[in-house]
Amino acid sequence: MQALDNYLSSVARTDQIYQFSRSKSYQISPERYRHFKQQAHDVRRTTMGARSIGAKLLELDVPRSGLAVEIGCGTGRLSGSLVLNGHFESYLITDSSGELVKEAKRRIEELESGSEVRFGVMREQDVAGFPDASVGSFFMAAVLHHILDWKQALRTMKKKLQPGGIIFFTEPCLEFGLTLAPLLMTFKKTLEDRGVQLEQRVLKSLRAFAGALKQRGDPFNLEQKKFEDKHFFRLSDMYHFAQVEGMEAHLFPNSSFHALLSQGEHPRGRIKFEKVVRQKLGTAAQLPPAFVDQFMEAMQEPLGFLAHLAELGRGPVAHFSCILQRPRR
C-alpha cells in the first residue's frame, strides 16, 4: 500500500510514536482512570480472546492486507488481543492522550507478538488524513461515546476502509441506565421513608447519574461538547446508521469486547448481569461500595428477574459490540 506508506512516512515521530495530533489528556476522574490502569494489567490474559476475535474476522472474510487501526486504546486493554491475534499485516495503536499511548506501548511491547506494531497520538478527526480505501479495519473499545459527531466519524472511517474492511466497536447502552435509574430512585425513596439520612456524596452521585442519563441520552444536546463522555447509544442507532450508509451491521447485545473475546466462565459473549450492575454503580454512577451493597441486597428480587432475562438474551442491554462492514463493491 504505497499511498499509506507515503502518508505514514510524512507524519512526525517522537520516541517512535507517530504524532498525528497534539496530545489531549483524558479528562476523567482519577478514580475511574485507575480502573482503566488496573484493567491494563490483564493484557496477557487477552491472549485467550485472540483466538475468538480471529474466528470472527475469518468468518466475515475481513481482508488481512493493510493496517488495523485502534482508536482510543487507553492503557491497551483491547490492543493485546488484536496484536496477538495477528490477523492483519500490521497494527497502529493510537489514543488522543500521549500519556496513555506510552503506557499501552510499554505493555504491548512486553508481549513480543512478532507482529508489526506502530503507535500514535491521534484523535478520531485525524482519520480524515489517511488515504482513501487504505485501512484494513478500525477498532474502538468504549471510545465512540466520546466523539461529538459520531456519525461523521464513522462515515470518515468507512471512506478510509478497504472493501470488506470493518469498524469493530463496543459501547455502553442507554437502556441499561434507564433500567437502573428507577430502581435507584425507588431505593432512595424507601430509605428516606424509613428516616435514613443519605450521605451528601451519595445524593450527589445519584443526581449526577440521573443528569448524565439526560445529557448523554439526548442526541440533540449541544451541551454534550463540554463532557468527556458524550453519548449513550441504543442498538437501533447502529442499525439505522448502517442502513443509511449501506454497510452491513452485526450487533452483539450484552457483549462487551472483552466478553465477546474471552472464553471464560460465561457462554461466549454473555455478560454476568449482577456483576455488571455492581461495576456500573461503582464506576459510572460513582456510588460508594457500602451503598452499592445495600442496593444489591434490597433489590435482589427485581435484579434477579432482570438477570434471568439477560441470561436468555432478552434482558436490558448494558453494552453492545458492533461490527460495521464495508461492502466489497
The residue ranges that bind ligand SAM (CB under 6 A) are: 26, 36, 39, 71-74, 77-78, 95-97, 100, 123-124, 141-143, 146-147
Name the DSSP class of 195.
T
- Phi, psi angle pair for 168, to nearest 5°: -115, 120
Please identify, using beta-carbon distances, which residue of 117 and 306 lies nearer to ligand SAM.
117
Give, for 14, the enclosing helix (H) or strand (E): strand 13-14
CA dist list (Å): 88 to 95, 97, 142, 260, 302 = 19, 24, 22, 19, 45
Q: Write down the least CB distance from residue 45 to ligand SAM, Å.
A: 14
What is the separation of C-alpha 122 from the centre of its chain, rounded to a whole number of angstroms?
16
CA dist list (Å): 246 to 56, 323, 325 = 21, 13, 9
Query: Which residues make beta-bridge pairs with 141?
Result: 170
Q: How far apart are CA 126 and CA 273, in angstroms?
A: 37
Cβ contact 13:45 at 8 Å: no
- Which cell numbers in the block locate residue 323? 461490527
- Which cell numbers in the block locate residue 302? 427485581
Please identify, using beta-carbon distances, which residue of 7 and 227 lies nearer to ligand SAM.
227
Q: Write down the least CB distance from residue 328 to ligand SAM, Å.
A: 28
Q: Write down the least CB distance from residue 61 to ligand SAM, Å.
A: 26
Q: Write down the least CB distance from residue 193 to ligand SAM, Å.
A: 37
Q: Which residues contact 152 (CB under 8 A, 6 or more apart)?
A: none
Please identify, using beta-carbon distances, which residue of 146 and 216 lies nearer to ligand SAM.
146
Q: Write down the least CB distance from residue 141 to ligand SAM, Å.
A: 4
Name the DSSP class of 313.
T
CA neighbor of 254 nearest in space, from 292, 199, 324, 309: 309
Please identify, using beta-carbon distances, which residue of 136 and 172 lies nearer to ligand SAM.
172
What contacts 24+ positions apart, CB below 8 Å, involve 150-154?
Answer: 150/231, 151/241, 153/124, 153/125, 153/127, 154/241, 154/245, 154/324
Residue of closest CB approach to ligand SAM: 74
Q: Write down the least CB distance from residue 146 to ligand SAM, Å.
A: 4
Please identify, using beta-carbon distances, which residue of 142 and 299 lies nearer to ligand SAM.
142
Please identify, using beta-carbon distances, which residue of 62 and 144 lies nearer to ligand SAM.
144
Q: Write down the least CB distance from residue 22 to ligand SAM, Å.
A: 12
Please identify, using beta-carbon distances, which residue of 260 and 306 lies nearer to ligand SAM.
260
Cβ contact 165:154 at 8 Å: no
Q: Write down the least CB distance from residue 137 to ligand SAM, Å.
A: 15
Please identify, using beta-carbon distances, which residue of 141 and 307 lies nearer to ligand SAM.
141
